[in-house]
Amino acid sequence: MMRGIRSWAIAILFLAHLVSVANAQRCTVPLVGFGPVDPADGFPQYYLDANNLGLAQCLDFVCDPALPVPDPNQPVSFPNNFPDEFFYQRAIANMTGPNGETFL
């Protein structure tokens, strides 16, 4: 009985120590600017990061297949069919397939 209590106490103390020393890493890349406000939705059209890379609105299903809009069968439009949240990103990937075909 005492051995079980002692094991639990050691485990709890160890976990408490881990929680006290664990730190989450934050993204510290500053945004240096933003583009003009899109009159269709009121959000900036893009943000510029510290490398002057423009991060554009991701408001289509090609860019974000999990875009949470009320009716995915209709085009994205503000305010009726607009997501509660969306992301700004820029990702382009080119890949050559085994038979020489190109994928984007």
Rounded Cα distance between 76 and 83, Å, is: 8
Distance of CA 75 to the CA centre of its chain: 22
Residue 54: both structure tokens together: 């423009």
Residue 100: both structure tokens together: 């020489």
pLDDT in tens, 55-103: 888 888 777 778 888 898 888 888 899 998 888 876 666 778 888 777 6
- Of the candidates 104, 58, 103, which has an alpha carbon nearest to the alpha carbon of residue 85? 58
pLDDT at 24: 66
